[in-house]
A = this chain, B = another copy of it.
């Protein structure tokens, strides 16, 4: 059998056995509709509310602030359109290195709703300068929403969301934090940090696809985009994906319990991979912050030298059983540099690959990756 090494954990993750077991139990036994008032319904309702409590506790939110969606993409759609309609938001500030979910949605909202759209300048490592942020928010004025990722999905750049939140608060700007890449990996405290809205997707943290989180701070009373039944306190209609919510909660529980241990392993693996690639491939470079404390432990964006081999790098990695990504999964298949790489001024002649790790990644897997890369070059 051929070897396979999965180094694309930022795209999605396997489901942990404990999560699978929790989900399978629900799928097999608890089929009541949480909206039904009979015993089967009440059981499902309690599963949903227990899951909500777990997620809420994990980010210091109250249960009334936590809503389940079908994923972070839907969460952002709801936040943006509801902020415009319900809170009078007329200006959105974001960066050019966000996920397409954010960029395509704000662009559509600009076309449809006539909002002002301001792109905050980012540094070449994907970071935000606080003074630039402050000036931009001041210029934007009130009725503004600032949207950014906690961790950039391509570069791994991690923002100091606590200080960003404070600056937003000081300038009376609502703060939307996209936690797709950070939820469950870093402590998040919405309570102390002026986060107005937050989103995440379970499948990035060893939970199921199709279940997402939308945190809405109590002060921001937005209403639903998707209407129908009164599910999710009227914020999101549609019969609840009970097994997905239970899986999301179980995955979150495990993230919290093992956070320190996983973080330690990730740091070791990332440093090891970085060192081994540096040592074995000449003229290699890395995108994102040079100081690893400003970068996610699970993402390494590598820029390979220009030559005839690099054109087929992704293809050859795949042939060798190595699963990695040329950018975000959602934008895969695009052969050119991604919008993120373009924005940070990446040399388009160099080929970028994003390797992303988990606590399951071993040094042996990294060794295999390095041996394959060496063979290609």
Which A residues contact B (CB, under 8 angstroms)?
A: 4, 6, 8, 11-15, 20, 23-24, 27-28, 31-33, 35-41, 70-74, 76-77, 85, 99-102, 104-105, 108, 112, 201, 203, 208-212, 225-231, 237-244, 314, 317-318, 321-325, 328-333
Contacts and interface: CB of A to CB of B under 8 A. Distances in A.
B36 A329 contact: yes
Contacts of A324: 38
A226 B74 contact: yes
A302 to B, nearest CB: 16
A15 B36 contact: no
Contact of A227 (B70, B101, B239): B101
Nearest to A240: B209
Contacts of A39: 4, 318, 321, 323
A317 B240 CA distance: 24
Contacts of A100: 227-229, 237
Contacts of A13: 31
A20 B13 CA distance: 21
A323 to B, nearest CB: 4
B32 A12 contact: yes
A210 B35 contact: no
Contacts of A325: 36, 38
A226 B323 contact: no
A11 B27 CA distance: 16
Nearest to A107: B227
Given A70-B238, A238-B70, A8 B38 contact: yes
A36 B332 contact: yes
28 contacts: A4-B39, A11-B41, A12-B31, A15-B28, A20-B24, A23-B27, A24-B27, A33-B203, A37-B333, A38-B314, A38-B325, A41-B332, A70-B210, A70-B241, A72-B238, A77-B225, A77-B226, A99-B228, A100-B237, A101-B227, A101-B228, A104-B228, A201-B239, A208-B243, A209-B239, A209-B240, A230-B331, A239-B330
A83 to B, nearest CB: 15
Contact of A37 (B37, B99, B332): B332
A38 B318 contact: yes
Nearest to A106: B227
A239 to B, nearest CB: 5
A125 B324 CA distance: 59
B8 A330 contact: no
Nearest to A314: B37
B41 A323 contact: yes
A228 B180 CA distance: 13
Contact of A241 (B35, B72, B210, B239): B210
A240 B208 CA distance: 10
A228 B8 contact: no
Nearest to A68: B210
A138 to B, nearest CB: 29
A72 B23 CA distance: 22
A212 B229 CA distance: 15
